[in-house]
Amino acid sequence: MYDAICYVLANDRLADTVLQVLERYLSYHNPITEDYEDFGVDYTSEYDMLRYFQEHPDLAVTRYWNGPQAIGGGHPHISPNHALLDSSAPKIMAGAHFLADGHLVISLTIESNDEAEDLMLVELKQFLQSSTGLISYVDYSNFLSFDSAAEFKAICDSL
């Protein structure tokens, strides 16, 4: 088995968009609770951190969230709101990629089964009302990299 990452370009850079994705796909996610201090700012909450990224469109930063471990099962809990993944799926991780050109790319990482990732990409694009997205298979020596929405769109168009 290997991991697949579904990336979709969001139509906005809102903290609420990130929170809606987390609620839909990782409603029982482990919140970012550490006292983050970056860009010279000390955030009091996860939401404040996301709002700061929203309000500073020139910042490029990525944050990731994991689902919690299921009690006694050793598998992360998949959000009950998500119908495309079997509840025995081993993991899901969400990413918010705030780009320096003012855009936001959302990613969901799942264990590939040669079908789940295709369904996930379609659903995530529908959820974000976006037509721009792609699937990348994890190669730990060569992660997909993009610095702007234009670069991300060019990668999508090249596939």
Supply the pLDDT for residue 150: 94
Contact between 100 and 148 (Cβ < 8 Å): yes
Q: Which residue has the higher pLDDT, 138 or 67?
A: 138
3-15 pLDDT, tens digit per residue, is 899 999 999 999 9
Report the Cα 126 to chain-centroid distance in Å: 15
Instruction: Pick the more confident residue, 142 or 83.
Output: 142
Q: What percent of the chain has pLDDT over 90?
A: 50
Higher pLDDT pick, 138 / 110: 110
**pTM of the shown model:** 0.81
135: which 2 tokens? 């699937």
28-57 tens-digit pLDDT = 777 776 656 677 787 888 898 999 999 999
pLDDT of residue 143: 73
List the one residue out of 8, 2, 4, 11 whose CA is nearest residue 134.
8
Q: What pLDDT does residue 144 have?
A: 82
Residue 83 pLDDT > 50: no
| Domain ranges, ordered by start, for the chain | 3-158
**CA end-to-end span of the chain:** 23
pLDDT-derived band at 1 (thresholds 50, 70, 90) equals low
